[in-house]
């Protein structure tokens, strides 16, 4: 279903230009995406926008001109945009997701990850919108993978604790909401530092200097395009079936340490990897991390939901714009 609006456009004809009225198709299904300026939010916005949804994104510091500028801690602003737009679905991507930043700024992180999430859930319930709250594999301690949605969480760091508290705040304020737990993400980054996966690329490229790489923590790198597809499929399934709610897991299925990811990146671009050094000790600096928080995704798979991009294909697509030595482009892409 689509709505119609009139839009004025300038048409050029020989010797003059004239103003004409054209029909503009507006999809009737409406989705609001928070954190739309971030790595995941951009992919979620794009996925819905390209699949016959009327998508509105909101952000804060980097919002304008493409997205609505909303401070999620401003409950009046949140209320107003939800009541003005009347979304059918809200995908809540906004969060403080850097574990070491959460440890150093716990109050600010708790405000965004917990208080704002609970308020958003309450406002979503008020207009009957289906809320998808993005959570993390870090709610688990990593001692007995793989983890099902019903397994008891035990976060090791404050980031995992705030996201778990956010889950509880969402489901307490909106029993029809969904929680989607996901692991480490990568994708079309604007800067290499946007992802814990892509940030390794410079260490891989500059092979004149040896680089220590973690070879202890088991990760499951997941492409944001795949998570975006899961969000859309979940939303569309919910439009047909009100019983689609509660907690879900999605993850890539290739188990890799950061060292193994770095070697795979080097291999994808035909770059040397002998300068990369695997460190098998448990990291002693920064927030504690779970050893292996692998997520069992069978619940979504049984609903027919899911998409997985092979890591080498996905990481090559994400990183080639940041390739320093242009000569390598000839061997990689021709």
Per-residue pLDDT of the chain in tens (334 residues, 90 and over written 9): 335 555 555 666 566 766 666 666 677 899 999 999 999 999 999 999 999 999 999 998 777 788 889 999 999 999 999 999 999 999 999 988 787 788 888 888 888 899 999 999 999 999 999 999 999 999 999 999 999 999 999 999 999 999 999 999 999 999 999 999 999 999 999 999 999 999 999 999 998 889 999 999 999 999 999 999 999 999 999 999 999 999 999 999 999 999 999 999 999 999 999 999 999 988 777 778 999 999 999 999 999 999 999 999 999 999 999 998 765 555 555 4
User: pTM, whole model, 2 decimals?
Assistant: 0.90
Tens digits of per-residue pLDDT, 204-243? 999 888 999 999 999 999 999 999 999 999 999 999 999 9
Contacts of 321 (CB under 8 A, 6+ apart): none
Cβ contact 155:161 at 8 Å: yes
Q: What is the pLDDT of residue 13?
A: 57
Q: What is the pLDDT of residue 334?
A: 46
Question: Residue 97: which of 165, 160, 169 has the closest Cα?
Answer: 160
Q: What is the pLDDT of residue 133?
A: 98
Q: What is the pLDDT of residue 1?
A: 38
Provide the 10 A C-beta neighbour count for residue 78. Answer: 21
Domains of the chain with bracketed CATH: 30-187+222-253+289-309 (3.40.50.720)
Q: What is the pLDDT of residue 270?
A: 93
Work out the angle at residue 228's Cα, subtended by the Cα atoms of residues 139 and 43, and round it to the nearest 5 degrees: 110
Q: Which residue has the tokens 């997985």?
A: 308
Q: What is the pLDDT of residue 98?
A: 82
Cβ contact 180:250 at 8 Å: yes
Give the up-direction half-sphere exposure of residue 298: CA atoms within 13 A in the CB hemisphere: 5
Cβ contact 238:193 at 8 Å: no
Q: What is the pLDDT of residue 245?
A: 98
Q: What is the pLDDT of residue 330?
A: 52
Q: What is the pLDDT of residue 47?
A: 98
Locate 213 and state its tokens: 């790489």
Q: What is the pLDDT of residue 214?
A: 95
Cβ contact 252:220 at 8 Å: yes
The helix/strand/coil state of 288 is coil
Q: What is the pLDDT of residue 207?
A: 86
The helix/strand/coil state of 312 is helix
Question: Residue 181: which of 329, 77, 31, 299 has the closest Cα?
Answer: 299
Give the chain's largest Cα–Cα span.
74
Cβ contact 142:293 at 8 Å: yes
């Amino acid at each position: 279903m689509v709505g119609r609006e009139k839009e004025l456009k300038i048409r050029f004809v020989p010797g003059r230009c004239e103003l004409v009225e054209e029909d503009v198709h507006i999809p009737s299904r409406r989705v609001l995406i928070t954190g739309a300026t971030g790595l995941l939010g951009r992919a979620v916005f794009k996925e819905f926008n390209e699949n016959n949804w009327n998508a509105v994104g909101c952000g804060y510091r980097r919002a304008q001109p493409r997205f609505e500028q909303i401070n999620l801690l401003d409950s009046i602003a949140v209320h107003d945009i939800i009541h003005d737009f009347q979304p059918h679905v809200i995908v809540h991507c906004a969060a403080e997701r850097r574990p070491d930043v959460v440890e150093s700024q716990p109050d600010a992180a708790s405000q965004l990850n917990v208080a704002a999430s609970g308020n958003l859930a309450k406002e979503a319930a008020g207009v009957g919108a289906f809320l998808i709250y993005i959570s993390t594999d870090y709610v688990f301690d990593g001692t007995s993978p793989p983890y099902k949605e019903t397994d008891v969480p035990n976060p090791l760091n404050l980031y995992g604790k705030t996201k778990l508290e956010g889950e509880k705040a969402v489901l307490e304020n909106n029993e029809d909401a969904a929680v989607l737990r996901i692991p480490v993400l990568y994708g079309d980054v604007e800067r290499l530092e946007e992802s814990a996966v892509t940030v390794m690329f410079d260490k891989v490229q500059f092979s004149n200097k040896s680089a220590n790489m973690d070879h202890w923590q088991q990760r499951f790198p997941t492409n944001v395009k795949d998570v975006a597809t899961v969000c859309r499929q979940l939303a569309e399934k919910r439009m047909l079936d009100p019983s689609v709610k509660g907690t879900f897991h999605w993850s890539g299925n290739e188990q890799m340490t950061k060292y193994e990811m770095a070697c795979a990146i080097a291999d994808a671009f035909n770059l040397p990897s002998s300068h990369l050094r695997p460190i098998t000790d448990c990291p002693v600096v920064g927030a504690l991390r779970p050893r292996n928080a692998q997520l069992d995704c069978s619940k979504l798979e049984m609903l027919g939901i899911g998409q997985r991009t092979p890591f080498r294909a996905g990481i090559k697509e994400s990183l080639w714009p940041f390739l320093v030595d242009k000569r390598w482009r000839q061997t990689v892409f021709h």
